[in-house]
A and B are shown apart, each in its own frame.
Chain A
Amino acid sequence: MKLREIKDILEATVLCGEESLDLEVFDACGSDFMSDVLAYVKNQALLLTGLVNPQVIRTADMVDMKCVVFVRGKVPDASILDLAREREIVVMSSPLRMYCACGALYLNGLRGE
């Protein structure tokens, strides 16, 4: 699924990386716990999280993720977005709750199959 479709499904606003919305991802991970992301993520290139701090971007970078979506309308500050730009990670903010955001992507076919 292209990041562009993910943006539409999640009714999200792109905060950085607009030029990379044609990138494709095949699986996603929803977590507020970064050590779990480091422990269990394999090929999930999309992280959905309600946690807002620079370690979210650093964690995503360590496991080669392409996009981070902050749920519940959370918006990171400029320093976090600068870090994401530096690491070439697309950042979006979605008004949906984590449960609904993950469910919407799953229903629309992002199932890691």
Chain B
Amino acid sequence: METIKLNYPVEGGDLIGAGEASSKMKMALKKLDLPPETIRRASICMYEGEINMVIHANGGRAEVEIAMDHIIIRMIDTGPGIPDVAQAMEEGFSTAGEIARDLGFGAGMGLPNMRRYSDEMDIQTTVGMGTTVTMKINI
């Protein structure tokens, strides 16, 4: 199978509409007839990444690569960056505001959930420049 590359813009400032890119990716993965558990794990990873991106970085973009034995999801933003990645990875640590919490997010579970459902995860971040979170999900 040739590697398939998909790109999705993530609109900033629209927490109500957030998740559209993840829904589109999920539909694309279903069409490829990938195992349901793989689709589910990839969808959760991207959805949490998308929500984070909307809450913290005013949007960005998602690049998805689907190869024979794995999926790579890259969430790229030019937001404020993460000053302390280790702290951000702790369950329960969050800098999200009231609106995110009202929607059922923003309690410090986003990055931990992305790590939980991916096989490999890497965070490259520079304060003031942005963040790229890369997740690999084995098929």
Contacts and interface: CB of A to CB of B under 8 A. Distances in A.
A38 B48 contact: yes
Interface of B is mostly: helix
6 contacts: A35-B109, A39-B113, A55-B18, A58-B22, A62-B43, A63-B44
Contacts of A33: 104, 107
Contact of A61 (B26, B51, B107, B112): B26
Interface of B: 15-19, 22-23, 26, 36, 40, 43-44, 47-48, 51, 102-105, 107, 109-110, 112-113, 116
Interface of A: 32-39, 51, 53-56, 58-59, 61-64, 87
A35 B19 contact: no
Interface of A is mostly: helix
Given A53-B16, A55-B18, A62 B47 contact: yes
B113 A38 contact: yes
Contact of A39 (B15, B36, B43, B116): B116
Contact of A56 (B104, B113, B116): B104
A87 B16 CA distance: 16
A39 B92 CA distance: 13
A33 B92 CA distance: 13
* 5 A-B pairs closest in CB distance: A34-B104, A35-B109, A58-B19, A62-B43, A55-B103
A36 B23 contact: no
B23 A35 contact: no
A64 B36 contact: yes
A62 B26 contact: yes
